[in-house]
Amino acid sequence: MKNSSLPLLSIARFAGLMLAACLVIAPAAHAQSVPSPKPAAEDTWSYNTIDLWSSRELGQMTLKTIGVDDDYIRLFIESKANTGNGELMMPKAFETTGRADMNSVTMFRGEREEKIMYKWPLEPGKKWTFQIRQEVPVNNTEPDSESQVLTNQFEAEVKGWETIDTPAGKFKAIKTVYKNKWSLEHNPANGLVVITSWYSPQVKREVQSISETFTPEGMPEARTRQQLLSYQVSK
């Protein structure tokens, strides 16, 4: 399928940004709704990513909140990719600023588009939609070639509370499912990406996220799980 790797790369970047921005306030563990987050400096989380087909670790990531300014946070992020023989490569580190409510705004050809990852307050059964567009090369092997529009149409739904077992322990977490139907402007390529995330109020962040890509025929392709390894947060 021509150019099918383009949307997958875009979704991988999106999933990484989504996790890097996720901070959640800590209400009671059995609360039925969750208000908008209240981040704190020095909160730290470490994750790894597992390929669900082979059970191979693909990499690790550590995030630390280094500053909070009203509705915005500053994050230090360090990531390490895993080589084919199981060794971690040299880490890559950078800082980024994001919104404390885990959402973000992008501009596409002068139009404002909002990534509404979390529609506060979160409650089981809550649903919403949003659209994100971006320009990508028509020819994947020639980045400077003519561009086309990649459209990501998301449907989100909060499913409810579950107990999730991770290397960092067991947590009560609220589950949200995102279904992204993507399509290309000048290419018949299209498909579906399903991202399922669980975050724990105790941890103030996601404890697990599963990303699954599907062909137009419904055949599963890439399948990964990102899980919490350790954390340290203020109460």
pLDDT at 16: 47
Share of the chain above pLDDT 90, in %: 61
Picking from 233, 182, 224, the residue whose alpha carbon sits closest to that of residue 63 is 233
pLDDT at residue 31, rounded to an integer: 52
This prediction has a pTM of 0.79
More confident residue, 146 or 197: 197
3-state secondary structure 173-216: EEEEEEEEEEEECCEEEEEEEEEEEEEECCCCEEEEEEEEEECC
Count Cα neighbours of 19 within 13 Å in the Cβ-side half-sphere.
32
Distance between CA 127 and CA 113 in Å, rounded? 18
What is the architecture, at CATH level 2, of domain 5-232? Answer: Beta Barrel (2.40)
- Quick check: 10 pLDDT over 80? no
Mean pLDDT of the region 169-197: 93
73's tokens? 């946070």
Task: Report domain extents, the chain.
Answer: 5-232
What is the predicted pLDDT for the residue at 28? 40
pLDDT digit string, tens, across residues 85-142: 767 777 899 999 999 988 899 899 999 999 998 998 989 999 999 999 998 888 777 7
- Residue 199 has a pLDDT of 84
